[in-house]
Structure 1
């Protein structure tokens, strides 16, 4: 996994071809001119084509130019998702969310739990085994230190791993990512319970504010916890061909 930082662009790059934004994504871009936007987009596309991967690109209020989405579509990107940036003052967290009987949340502290964490993410996104194995190598390389700015949480229902979430700490804010629930455990309030547990840990660590990017189907979960919508984001995807799930 590489984080590539340039003057006008930052992106995350891996060798994993599976089309998911956690593997290859450009979350930040601020181009100084149309010519710069064109040159950077062409360069990134060529790199993605050479590696045989897929690229996701997030466009929102902190990216420029304002019509960056138009530039991406002109270069063959397709809009695949519309999300909402949400924030919360953790002191106003609504903690009355019901927790299913037999459900517990653990911070991931060992390789056994890390394997289960990755397996849940893989099942949630229908990743093939090879992708899950590659993802585990990446996650293992990031370590399990309790003081790391990246903390993972695993939800267990009657002892079985069924849900995940991740906290990233930076710039005085806790960011919530990787909220996932396996299909057979959906509809029981588990995503809400996972987010609540992570936010309580963030508060214990001294953080007062948290952020996340919500899909349309996830917004109601976060509103019930006290999150407020702040900005809209469009996610675009470029791929050279169809990914083989076999």
Structure 2
């Protein structure tokens, strides 16, 4: 286990990206039929599912003389299978003109997110909205509820999300799993989800989601706080996340500070 990182450590930014990379690969490594190509300078994850949530290229640290050939090979891997995928460019990606090279290979910058970190000692207390209870997923039924909420981010709901978590449940729920899944139930209905991946000395927050009809009630805020408070209780001092433009203000008010940008190319 990596030592807990202090919020002011100069290693927080690199740990933030390493945590994200670990989050993208941990369950995929156990998925039958998945391919994880972990090579110097580049990591490719092919889940075997036609879903760019789980098909990713990341952790690019490419030498300039080889960059175009390796980009072409990674892009061809998915295009030859007609599989969607996402290429994530983190704050320490190389070469420095990687974005331009990805564009030249036909990829489009679909989203930009702000990497952020937080001192967990600054967390406020958790106040649950009326009718809401939060459970940590410790069995397949609750993990399925988590997956259903996440899948509902798409319209129609993405069935590949349900498939992925069903097929990796034995690893996701194992006692030594670094991932904690949380589900919010409003009057007994699963309406919100979040997860925390504990790796590289930081607690990475992911998959914060609330179904449409339960939004604007403080439920998303509760599902943000619950995994962070859980991580703090376990000794973690620093949390990290990648925030969309819509979420940056919310996380800033909570105490998160910028640590660099992440770009998603498709």
TM-score by length of structure 2 reads 0.82
Which residue does the alignment assign to 2:128?
A: 99
Indicate which of 178, 187, 195 corresponds to 2:224. 195
Which residue in 2 is equivalent to 1:88?
A: 118
Unaligned runs of 5+ in 2: 1-27, 29-34
Corresponding residue number in structure 1 for 2:37: 4
When structure 1 is superposed on structure 2, of 204-213 and 129-138 the one drifting more is 129-138
Tell me the distance in 2 between the aligned counterparts of 1:162 and 1:222. 21
Call closer, same or farther: CA 1:127–1:144 in 2, change over 3 Å. farther
Partner of 2:151: 122
- Quote the offset at 1:174 in angstroms: 0.7
1:15 to 48, 53, 60: 48
Cα shift at 1:128? 4.6
Instruction: Quote the residue 1:216 is aligned against.
Output: 245
Structure 1 residues 108 and 193, CA gap change in structure 2 (3 angstroms):
same
Q: Does structure 1 residue 63 correspond to structure 2 residue 93?
A: yes
Change (3 A) 1:86 1:15: same
From 79, 86, 90, the equivalent of 2:109 is 79
Q: Can you list the C-alpha shifts for 1:7-57, whole angstroms capped at 9, x where unaligned?
A: 110132212213x4x311122101012x31111111111110122211211
By how many angstroms is 1:127 displaced? 5.3
2:174 alignment counterpart: 145
Shift of 1:141: 4.1
| Structure with greater strand share of residues | 1
Structure 1 counterpart of 2:214: 185
Equivalent residue number for residue 45 of structure 1: 75
3-state DSSP of counterpart to 1:29: coil
- Distance (whole Å) between structure 2 residues aligned to residue 39 and residue 181 of structure 1: 41
Moved more, 158-167 or 145-154: 145-154
Separation in 1, partners of 2:245, 2:159: 29
Task: Give 1:224 shift.
Answer: 2.4
Equivalent pairs counted in the alignment come to: 233
Once the two structures are superposed, what CA deviation does each residue of 1:184-210 show, in whole Å capped at 9, x if it has no partner? 111112221111011000011111111
C-alpha separation in 2, matches of 1:119 and 1:8 = 35
| Equivalent position to 1:134, from 151, 159, 163 | 163
